Each structure stands twice: as structure tokens, then as C-alpha cells.
Amino acid sequence: MIRNEICRAVEAAALEAQRKGLLPDAALPEITVEHPPESHGDFACAFALKFARTARRSPMDIARTVIAVMQDIPEVEKVEVAAPGFINFTLKGAWLAEQVDQILQQGESFGNLDLGEGVKVQLEFVSVNPTGPLHVGHGRGAILGNTLANVLRAAGYFVEKEYYVNDAGAQMEAFYSSLYVRYQQCFGMDAEVPEEGYHGDYLVDLAGQIAEEKGDVFLRMSLDKAVAEIGVLGLDKIIEGIRGDLGRLGVVFDVWFSEKMLYTGGQYESAMNLIREKGYVVEKEGAVWFVSSEMGEDKDNVLIRSNGTPTYFASDVAYHYNKFVQRKFDRVINIWGADHQGHVPRMKAVMRALDLDPDRLQIIITQMVTLKRGDIEIKISKRAGDIITLSDLVDEVGADACRFFFLSRSLDSQMDFDLELAKKQSADNPVYYVQYAHARIASILRLAQEKGIGFQDGDVSLLVSDPELAYIRKMLEFPEIVEIVSDRLEPHHLTYYAQDLATAFHSFYKQCRVISEDPKLTAARLKLIQSARLVFARTLHLMGMNAPDRM
């Protein structure tokens, strides 16, 4: 990327200035470049401003010293110093025009990077207890995780997407018991769902399906056996429904990992033995505890309750032992809901207890989604049954709108999902605005084909106007976006870029007639919009969205 070349050129010039005694021999700050306002060139570097205090020199003086010894950068037309000490770079128009051919040659690989160098990453997300259908809040984590996987793969990482099926523990027992009560009710029996059970209408439907398929067979079993066997059927059906709902959004997991396997496969015992041998396990108050306080956390945490049953935390210890020690992932990224914020420090403590670098585990906490219809907020509760399912949302606004809206806010911010806006067929709706730009490009290319206009030999050196070069500049930001998202794990940058790309295209389209009476300029501009179509499609596909040819 040209941005990285400029960073390397500034660093090399600063080191050369130090070698010559023109700058103090002190550690250099991190050198980065940004996109300044148009009037200040294509890139701006604030190195001189960062180095001024250390060097005890004015930023303007440092900047002038650096550019005086800087080697020429072939792609750059001019380098200037601007107050209060920025180094600004303007790219050559001819080089920008040449990038149209470069984009077309790279095709679907345009924007791919080698940052990951094949590092093995496990990305675990959604992973909600399979006690009911997914609701809209789960959709946010699903889209974030799937998009991050797409971008990390484009950045050169080996990524495995995993759904952790919490099919053990007290919540599953409550689900099985509630389902059996609903099953009994199908046959007119007087049974009530326990207060701590699940009361949603979806359980009535699920029990009805099982009653229709199996008849009253479970009524002729002992209670424990009936609850266990109907629970297995219910679990399978819920997971099948979750797979289907996620599939409608284009979210497909590479691995579905069962929590039960941690116990039947020996990982739980291995993990517990390891941390016990290292002295991080104690028995007190009739329970078994992980001494998190010795690892810097505020309090210790229970691993095994006084009744002998493992906690969810114990399962998490075994699960991460499985991820890092047994399956040997280099890096693990967990996307958890807002209610898991307090679990982050203790999982970092677990990493240290397992003799693993805590930085290899990254935990992203997503915030709540508020669903609104007009001014009315829609409440959701899985246990109470007042829920808008993810499937309902897809039915109403479509998969692409779901994906774009869920991605449109930073991970650490709460978001309002405006149903009415998501359905609008106008530029007010960012999904429509972006996809319409791609569809308009496709329609121009169809018109050229209908008119028999070929443009494979188009001369891109004819692309010299400001609107043309401005649009090329925006397309060339795509690899930078891939780098930013993969580095910061912030996929919302894709939605902003997609809208900027659409705005730049609409501006170009208004000012430059693509198919005109000038055949050479027509061919050059058709090449430009062909490359634009490719960049739009790449951006949309990373978000898991369609790039429609017609709207």
C-alpha cells in the first residue's frame, strides 16, 4: 500500500537525519499517516509534531529537516510542510489513473493483505444457550463475528468460526423441564412451567411438534428419563432452528463445539489438574475455588459448587484449555454480550494460570440493541416469551439491512435499530444508498454492452479530471480499510467506507458522462466504473451483503 510506503520513507528520512546529526539521536515515535482535507494533499504525517518535545525543536523545523533528506517516492508528485508541522504528500495523477488497471488485474483479490501470515485464529461468537430461538440482540454478535472472519481472512489469517453449544448446566435442565411440562399439556395434563423455567410460546410450538412426531411415548417413562430424552429432541430442534436463522443471514460456522464434550473428552479433567498442580485451586466453604486473587483479580471464583456440579466458569477454563493447548490456536477472539463484561478479567487470569500469554485471548464485548418501531421501543425477554426473533427481523427488513445496520455502530456502543428506516427505498436508508450505487454502475455497463461498446483496451491515462481522480483515491482506500478492521477488530469502518464510496461515485456520475460521443474517453471511464463495481462488490461481500445489479 502506498500509505505504508510513505510511512517507511518518513522513517528512513528521520533516521538519515539522525545519522547526519540533523536531528537528536532519540527514539522515534510511531510514524503514521492519515488522509487530510482535500486541499492538503492525499496523506499527512504528524511525525514532527510527535517528535518535537523529545527533540526540543519546533515541529516546522523538524518537518523541513526530514523532507530535505527524504528520498523521492515514485508515486508522489510533491511533498510539502504545512503548519503547525505536518508533512503533506500529493500523489501523481498519472499514477492514480494507472491504479484502475491494477484493480482490474487483481480482481477479487484486490484489497487482500499478508498481515496475518497464516496465523491460526479461532473466532467464537453467538454461542447462546440453546434454550430458544435467537433474538435481535444475538444477531449483532453473529454479524460482527462473521464480518470479522471475512476481513481477517482477507488480511491473510487462517480463521476458524466456532459456535460453542452450552448444552450442559442448570439453564439446560430448566429448559428440558419446561419443555416436558409443555409436552404434558399437549395431552391435557395439569402441569405448570416452574417459575425459573422458560415460558415462551416457542416452547408450546416445540412441544406440539414433538407430541405430533412421537405421540405420548414420554408419558409412559419415568420422569427423569422422559425429561432427559425429550430434552435431547428439543435441543436438536433448537440448534437446527439456530442454524437456519443464522443461515438466512449468511452466517455459517466451521465448527459447532459441544460443552458436554469437555467432560466426556477429558479436557475438563486435564485443565483442572493443570491449574491444581500450579496451586491455583483451593477448597473452602464446601466448594472448589480458582484463586483468581493471586492472579490480580479482585476476588476468587467458584469452579465446583458445594453440590459437586461444575460452574460455567469451570467449563470456560476447560474450553480455553482445549482451544489453546489441545487445538493449538495462535490467537482466540471471543465475541460476548454485554452481560459478560465481568468475566473478562478472570479469563485473563485463567490464561496466566495455564502459562499462556493473556494477549493471545481477545474478548470483544458487544452492547445492547434497542429495537424501535417509530417512537415505540420493543422489549424482548426469552424467558417471559416477549421476544422479537432474529427470524422475524429478517422477514421484515431483509438480511442485507440486518447486516448493515448491525455493523453500523462501534462494538462498544449501544445501538437503536430503526425498523422503518431499514425498510425505506430511498437515499435516507444507507443500505439502499450503497446498493443503489452498485446497481447504477451495473446498469451503465449493461448499456455499454447493449451498444456494443468495448473498453478492455481503454486508455486510463485519459482519466485526468478532479472527479475521476477523486473517485480513484476513494477506491484505493479499500486495502487500508481491510488493514484497519483486521488490526482494530472494528468492522463498523466498512459501513462508513461503503457510504463514502457511494457518495464519491454519485459525485463522479453527476459530473462525468460515462458513455459519450468521445469513444476513447468512454472506454477509459467504463474501465473506471468496472473497477468501481469490483471495489463495491468486495466491500459489500466482506460485510456478507449482496451486490445487486438491479434495484
The reply to whether CATH 1.25.40.10 applies to domain 96-115+428-542 is no
> pLDDT tens, 269-299?
999 999 999 999 999 989 999 998 777 777 8
* Cα separation, 59 vs 23, whole angstroms: 12
Name the grid cell of 289.
Answer: 475455588
Asked whether residue 385 carries a pLDDT value surpassing 70, the answer given is: no
Burial string for 320-348 (b: 16+ CB within 10 Å, else e) reads bbbbbbebebebbbbbbbeeeeebbbbbb
**CB-count burial class (<10 Å; 0-12, 13-18, 19+) for 491:** buried
Query: What pLDDT, on the 0 to 100 scale, is given for residue 381?
Result: 52
> pLDDT tens, 508-524?
999 999 999 999 999 99
Q: Edge to edge, what strands does the sheet with 281-284 contain?
A: 281-284, 287-290, 301-304
Query: What pLDDT, on the 0 to 100 scale, is given for residue 543?
Result: 97
Looking at residue 386, the DSSP 8-state letter turns out to be: B
Residue 159's pLDDT band (cuts 50, 70, 90): very high
Question: Residues of the chain with pLDDT > 90: what percent?
Answer: 84
* Cα separation, 231 vs 173, whole angstroms: 8
Asked whether residue 382 carries a pLDDT value surpassing 70, the answer given is: no
> pLDDT tens, 311-330?
999 999 999 999 999 999 99
Query: What pLDDT, on the 0 to 100 scale, is given for residue 379?
Result: 66
* Cα separation, 142 vs 138, whole angstroms: 6
Query: What pLDDT, on the 0 to 100 scale, is given for residue 293?
Result: 79
Identify the architecture of domain 2-90 in CATH. 2-Layer Sandwich (3.30)
- Indicate the range of 11-20, 130-139, 225-234, 477-486 predicted with least confidence: 130-139
Closest CA to 435 of 444, 446, 426: 426
> pLDDT tens, 188-247?
999 999 888 998 889 999 999 999 999 999 999 999 999 999 999 999 999 999 999 999
> What ranges do the domains of the chain cover?
2-90, 96-115+428-542, 170-248
Query: What pLDDT, on the 0 to 100 scale, is given for residue 238?
Result: 96
Asked whether residue 383 carries a pLDDT value surpassing 70, the answer given is: no
Average pLDDT, the chain: 94
> pLDDT tens, 388-412?
789 999 999 999 999 999 999 998 8
Coil, helix or strand at residue 34: strand
